[in-house]
């Protein structure tokens, strides 16, 4: 276990959280926080700081106060790349200040890269953003509220032509699994910080972020991906307007049924190649198909020589040929 992991375990077993510990920096100001409180007509002073647990029993500022202060020592780094890999930078920026300021500044920065594309459904024109604004907002909120601040590194956001990656430090809270998280189970690593964001009406309730993101993509063939590793957690939002990233939200006429099926097959192949193999259940979850249709399309792709079936016991996976 690395040094940060040991410190995290010591804090957890001692019943003390990072945000409740005394801040090493006590010369703090709260211009951004005061502005946010004023916007919502919420009183803000020493009494409120104690209630919010920004001031501890020793009357000194806690780490929670440091995170909300203008002197916050943590940053968020955003990199924009050309294409689908990290070979060529287009833009990069580091955001500092209160986590509330970082939230606002990063959200505005990402909005400049959230382009609009026109689509036509019959005679009606519909403009679609690359990414649902609410999905970006939820992913950004999660990366700030739930990261492990025992790690000194920055929150990382990578923008590619076909996706945005949000990478926060800390991984899942000890004892929780990805399955539990997607079911809506909530155990915040920073409950006091989450409470402040709740009071500021930036979050509606606890444990709904990932499920809300999935709901926002329910009509799209490509779904967001969430990955947890030791010391890190990532959320990947796919670009719905990227070429080949077809959606289900536009009605197809009878002469376009073949195009719709081709789009679904293309999406299955995309995920199979990205993962090295794919199962029927993964097709249902990632592409948004029902069991019967998912099974039929997989069989058709096998018959067309695109996939090969591999069965091991009761588990069946489909592997791209040539991979």
CB 16 within 8 A of CB 27: no
Residue 280 to residue 298: CA distance in whole angstroms: 8
CB 321 within 8 A of CB 307: yes
Q: What tens digit of pLDDT does each residue of 211-270 get? A: 889 989 888 888 899 988 888 999 999 998 875 555 444 443 333 334 445 667 877 887
175 confidence band (pLDDT: 50, 70, 90):
confident
274 confidence band (pLDDT: 50, 70, 90):
confident
Tokens 């300021």 -> residue: 101
SS3 198: helix
* Token digits of residue 254: 């009878």
Highest mean pLDDT among 4-18, 121-135, 187-201, 301-315: 187-201
Reply yes or no on whether the pLDDT at 311 is more than 70.
yes
The pLDDT score that the predictor gives to residue 122 is 63
Residue 186 to residue 188: CA distance in whole angstroms: 6
* Token digits of residue 86: 């990290």
Work out the mean pLDDT of the chain and round it to a whole number: 84
Reply yes or no on whether the pLDDT at 75 is more than 90.
yes
The pLDDT score that the predictor gives to residue 117 is 80
Residue 20 to residue 64: CA distance in whole angstroms: 7
The pLDDT score that the predictor gives to residue 255 is 34
More confident residue, 171 or 232: 232
Residue 196 to residue 137: CA distance in whole angstroms: 17
Q: What tens digit of pLDDT does each residue of 32-58 get? A: 999 999 999 999 999 999 999 999 999
Q: Which residues of 181-195 are buried (b: 16+ CB within 10 A; e: fewer)?
A: beeeebebbbbbbbb
The pLDDT score that the predictor gives to residue 71 is 98
SS3 6: helix
DSSP-assigned beta bridge partners for residue 156: 77, 167
Running DSSP on this structure, what letter comes out for residue 146? S
pLDDT average, residue stretch 17-31: 95
DSSP-assigned beta bridge partners for residue 245: none
Could you give the domains of the chain?
3-68 (no CATH), 76-238 (3.30.565.60), 254-320 (1.10.10.10)
206 confidence band (pLDDT: 50, 70, 90):
low
The pLDDT score that the predictor gives to residue 58 is 94
Q: Which helix (H) or strand (E) holds 116?
A: strand 116-121
* 118 Cβ contact partners less than 8 Å away, ≥ 6 residues apart: 125, 126, 127, 128
pLDDT average, residue stretch 161-188: 81
Reply yes or no on whether the pLDDT at 112 is more than 90.
yes
The pLDDT score that the predictor gives to residue 200 is 96
């Amino acid at each position: 276990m690395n040094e940060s992991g040991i410190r995290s375990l010591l804090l957890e077993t001692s019943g003390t959280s990072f945000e409740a510990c005394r801040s090493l920096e006590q010369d703090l100001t709260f211009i951004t926080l005061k502005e946010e409180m004023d916007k919502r007509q919420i009183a803000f002073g020493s009494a409120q700081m104690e209630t919010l647990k920004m001031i501890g029993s020793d009357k000194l500022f806690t780490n929670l106060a440091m995170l909300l202060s203008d002197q916050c020592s943590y940053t968020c780094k955003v990199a924009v790349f050309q294409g689908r890999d990290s070979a060529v930078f287009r833009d990069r920026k580091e955001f500092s200040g209160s986590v509330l300021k970082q939230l606002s500044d990063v959200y505005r920065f990402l909005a400049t890269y959230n382009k609009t594309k026109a689509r036509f459904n019959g005679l009606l024109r519909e403009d679609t953003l690359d990414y649902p604004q609410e999905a970006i907002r939820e992913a950004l909120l999660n990366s700030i509220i739930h990261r492990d601040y025992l790690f000194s590194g920055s929150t990382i956001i990578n923008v590619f032509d076909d996706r945005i990656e949000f990478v926060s430090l800390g991984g899942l809270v000890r004892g929780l699994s990805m399955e539990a998280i997607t079911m809506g189970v909530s155990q915040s690593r920073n409950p006091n910080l989450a409470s402040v964001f709740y009071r500021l009406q930036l979050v509606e309730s606890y444990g709904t972020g990932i499920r809300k993101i999935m709901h926002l993509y329910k009509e799209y063939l490509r779904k967001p991906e969430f990955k947890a590793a030791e010391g890190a957690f990532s959320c990947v939002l796919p670009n719905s307007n990227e070429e080949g990233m077809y959606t289900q939200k536009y009605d197809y006429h009878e002469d376009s049924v073949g195009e719709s099926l081709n789009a679904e097959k293309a999406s299955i192949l995309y995920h199979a190649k990205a993962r090295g193999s794919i199962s029927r259940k993964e097709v249902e979850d990632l592409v948004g198909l029902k069991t019967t249709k998912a099974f039929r399309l997989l069989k058709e792709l096998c018959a067309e020589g695109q996939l090969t079936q591999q069965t091991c016991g009761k588990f069946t996976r489909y592997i791209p040929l040539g991979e």
